[in-house]
Each structure stands twice: as structure tokens, then as C-alpha cells.
Amino acid sequence: MLGEHALPREMHLLVSSMSARGRAIEVGPAVVRTLRAGGWKVTVSVTTPEDTPRKIAAASRAPFVAALGGDGYLSAVAQGVHDSDAVFIPMPGGRGNDLCRALGVSHDPFARAHEVAAFGVDTGDSADLEAHIRDIDGVWVRDEDGCDKLVLGIVAVGYEARANEMANASWFRSGPMAYAYGAFAAFATFKERPFRAVIDGKDRDLTGWVASVSNSGCSGGGIRMVPSSDLEDGTMELFHIGRASKRTALAALTQIVVKRNADHPLVTIEPVHEVTFTEPAGVKAWADGDPIASIPCTMRVAQGVVRMLA
């Protein structure tokens, strides 16, 4: 609850200088103008690769902290907001913008700015704003050094992680185009891996093509990888494509990338609360378009980790 008195419509907006090869910087001025026209008092911080968005967000004194950038950037800012008493406002400024898609808000930065601007009028009553604030879940990812990072989307190892890496290296600014390129470029060289994990206390063999842990269920610029994922249910989902010939795996992956759904017999999905990938050591885990840890690493549910304005 926000209390009896309305929070001032004051926002600290963090803008990524790197997301989508400068997309957030390009749209930033128009986004800020729209927010201010709606009544928000906006302070802007443009972050560079040398900055730590999490720390900037955590140190902010604004009652609302917003992030304009890609999904990985939004997760980093959300972790900082978790460390403060602010309300998080996600603003899409990347290529895929899958977090906003999963949340059911606009994934277009200009349309999203108009959505948020509509909350800018201070009526003196917190109820109008409070109705649009919700507690959302995340995933805490702990690396082998014991460092925790927050992820709001999907953590992947295996083929999907390699596809993310290839998509990042491409010059496509469209999320669907970049992911499609990455998916098929990765397939040319990827082979199934002997993954092992401890899932809710039980040893499991996850050898195969794809192993990922989902919070939002959305990836690749709108692919509903895990339709059952819910950002408010206190549960993650394990998405797995196991042993299969390359030809059979290609059929499943093509359906996921081209038809943009994961309803295929090779795909298994199950609810989980904690997953520790133990093998193969050194393989990178990717989350929301960025590398986040290397195996061994642990993912656990972060229930109600951040308050968010939808």
C-alpha cells in the first residue's frame, strides 16, 4: 500500500546508451516530453557502459524509478528498485521488449510513454495510482562467486543461449529479426549438450538442446515460449528440449521461431522453484539478451521482488 497520501508524480528515468544500438537514446527525448506533458516531474540519467544501473536506481530518492532500455537493462534497474522503496516503471527501449509484452503493456516506447503519462495527474488521492501498482516476481541468479543478479524474463543455457549470443552480435534492430537470425545461425554449429541440474533438491539429467528457466514466458521479440508463465504466481517454469536428432530438433525449433509458439511434442514444461545447473562447467547462461553467469549457477524464485506501475 502506498499510504493515505498520494505519492508525488516524480520520476527518475534511467536511459540506456547501449540498448538496441542506441534505440533508447533516440526515442528518449520524445518519451520525456510526453511524460512531462502528462504531469510527471522527470529527472533523467543517461547511463554508459561504465555505469552500474542497479546502483544508480538503488541510490535514487524518487518515488518512481523508470528504465528505458532492453530487457536486461530493465532487470538491472529493477534490482536497484528492489533495494530501495520506489516503484518501478518499465519503458521499452530495446529490440525485443519482451518484458513489456509479458506484462501486457505496450512494447512501443511512444505508446508506453502515453500510457504512463496518463498516470501523471496528481488528484490528491493515491487510490487511482495504487490500482495500477502490482508486485511482480523475478528470478535470483546466483553465480559460483555467490553474487546474486535479478532477472525478470528467462534464463537460458544451451541452444537458446547461443541464439541470444548470435542475435546480440547481429546488426538487426528488430527483435524478431535479430532472434530469427540468431536462432538459425546458432543451429549451424550447435550440438546437444550433456546438461545436469539439481531441481528442487533432485538430481536430473537435462541432456539435450534447450534448458531454460522462465519467469515471464516471453522471448525473442514476442515468442510465447512458456504460455503458462505468470509474473505473479510465485513459480518458475523449466523449459526443456531433450535428446533428438538434428533434423527432429530443427523441426521443433523452426516451429518456435517461425510460427512463434512452443507447442511441440519435443518440448516439456514443468513448474519449479529452484534450479542449479551443475554441468557442463563453464557454459554461459544468458538472460534477457545478456550473459549473466556461468555453470555452476543457481536460479530461485524471487516472489513479489519489485513493485511495478503497469
The pair phi, psi for residue 42, each rounded to 5°, is: -115, 125
Average pLDDT for residues 75-83, to the nearest whole number? 97
pLDDT digits (tens, 9 = 90+) for 16-64: 999 888 899 999 999 999 999 999 999 999 999 999 999 999 999 999 9
Q: Which three cell numbers stand for residue 66?
A: 523508470
pLDDT digits (tens, 9 = 90+) for 156-207: 998 989 988 888 788 777 777 888 888 888 888 888 999 999 999 999 999 9
Q: Which amino acid, residue 113?
A: A
Q: Which three cell numbers stand for residue 191?
A: 550440438
pLDDT of residue 212: 95
Average pLDDT for residues 278-296, to the nearest whole number? 95
Residue 236's CB: how many other CB atoms inside 10 A? 28
Average pLDDT for residues 278-291, to the nearest whole number? 94
User: Lowest-confidence range among 247-251, 261-265, 285-289?
Assistant: 261-265
pLDDT digits (tens, 9 = 90+) for 88-105: 999 999 989 999 999 999
User: Lowest-confidence range among 144-158, 164-178, 235-249?
Assistant: 164-178
Beta strands in 225-294 (DSSP E): 236-241, 267-272, 274-279, 284-287, 290-294
Cβ distance 238 to 199 under 8 Å? yes
Quote the distance between the C-alpha of residue 62 and its chain's center. 23
Please report, to the nearest 10 degrees, the dihedral formed by the alpha carbons of residues 285, 288, 290, 294 taken in order. Answer: -10
Residue partners of 33: CB distance under 8 A and separation at least 6: none
Residue partners of 287: CB distance under 8 A and separation at least 6: 72, 75, 139, 141, 149, 151, 153, 154, 155, 156
pLDDT of residue 1: 42
Average pLDDT, the chain: 91
